[in-house]
Amino acid sequence: MTIDYNKLEVRINLDNLRHNYRIFTRFSDNVIPIIKSDAYGHGLAEVSRALENDASTFGVGFVNEAVLLRRSGCKQRIMALLGPIDDADFQALWDHEILAAMSHMGQLERAAAMAEERGTLNIGLKIDTGMRRLGFRPEEVDELIEFLKGHSKLKPVMVTSHLASADVPEHKEHVHGQARAFEAVVGKLREAGFDVEANLANSAGSMVHPPCHMDSLRLGISLYGGNPLHGTQWADAGQELKPAMDVSAPVMQVHPLGKGEGISYGWTHVAERDCMVAIIGAGYADCYSRSLSGKGFVNIAGRRAPVLGRVCMQMTAVDVTDILGEGTEVVPGDRAWLLGGPGDAAITPEELADWWGTITYEVFCLLGMNQRIYT
Ligand SMILES: *Cc1c(COP(=O)(O)O)cnc(C)c1O
């Protein structure tokens, strides 16, 4: 899975990750780290090990990722948020003791039939209270309860639903509407005798919507130090978060670019003055997006250097005139930080996401595919 054809280095600070996790234990004594998609690019096994003394449940996406996590040695409860898709997934629920969220009748019927042979299975139930992706609708709950009562080898132990816009202040009422709809479903399940743990809140829901806290929190982006409320009036709620990922690439060459000369493909940038450029060994093949062309900055020696012209497949040109002018040397072999880096010039995940035209989630998932080291 790791990109191994380049010289990028992704550094993961596991202390920062634990720091972020512990912020959320103020809101709940049951915080479930969401480590799907290779822990948002931070490493599935490494992140689970870093939190194994803090968390009793981990959440991943597909069942095959849950199996990878189990095989890495994880002893905690593993929840597969996206549920079983094919026969291998269904078998794995028993083979590897995976708690999968079931989101439609077809999955329950198949699991119930298998349970006759393989024995009792703990399951999760996914309720669609407004995201409109996966899950049983609240109006299907009576039918759901009837089915579960007739199939006692399926044991619902968790019920979950997902917030569609917990990070949008204007949608607060809608968010709380989801919480009410979810509570009604949870109430019915409990009345029917099912002892279920209920969780609804993602990072943003945990930070600013106490009515969504329920029994446990599902913590994703904030665990990695991304602030889901960046750019909103609630942004301060994330001020204690510390990014856990830094990404650097080597300086390959430093040379002058004369006034009037173009640089990189298409000569989209023409120098307005005599300047000095550094060529950095990172490009879109390394998941440093081409949409950063002419927009991004890198951090070299604690100073910012703007991207000049197009980001190429494995190289990007940056302007180091001012850095050299202040007497700081920049030579081949130095590191240029695409994310993070030294001093006040540290590039935040939110800044990089803004230049890139995306969100921190995508920045982490993509850059995290490069070779990682852990500190
Ligand atoms: C990804 C995910 C989360 C975590 O969301 P963040 O916004 O990253 O905190 C929680 N619940 C479900 C179902 C998810 O898919």
* pLDDT for position 75: 98
Q: Is 81 in the pocket of ligand 1 (CB under 6 A)?
A: yes
Tell me what the mean pLDDT of segment 346-355 comes to. 98
Cβ(213)–Cβ(179) below 8 Å: no
Residue 361 annotated as catalytic: no
Would the CB of 217 count as within 6 Å of ligand 1? no
Q: Which of 75, 149, 259, 265 is catalytic?
A: 265
Catalytically annotated residue among 36, 40, 126, 288: 36
- The string of pLDDT tens digits covering residues 127-149 is 999 999 999 999 999 999 999 99
| Tens of pLDDT, residues 48-90 | 999 999 999 999 999 999 999 999 999 999 999 999 999 999 9
pLDDT at 259: 98
User: What homologous superfamily does CATH list for 14-234?
Assistant: Alanine racemase (3.20.20.10)
CA of 114 to the centre of ligand 1 (A): 29
Give the domain ranges of the chain.
Answer: 14-234, 245-374
Predicted pLDDT of residue 361: 98
Q: Is the pLDDT of residue 1 over 80?
A: no
Architecture per CATH, domain 245-374, reads as: Beta Barrel (2.40)
Q: Is the pTM of this model over 0.85?
A: yes
First to last CA, the chain: 21
Q: Annotated catalytic, 259?
A: no
Of all residues in the chain, the percent with pLDDT exceeding 90 is 100
203 lines ligand 1 (CB under 6 A): yes
pLDDT digits (tens, 9 = 90+) for 229-260: 999 999 999 999 999 999 999 999 999 999 99
d(CA 247, CA 339): 5
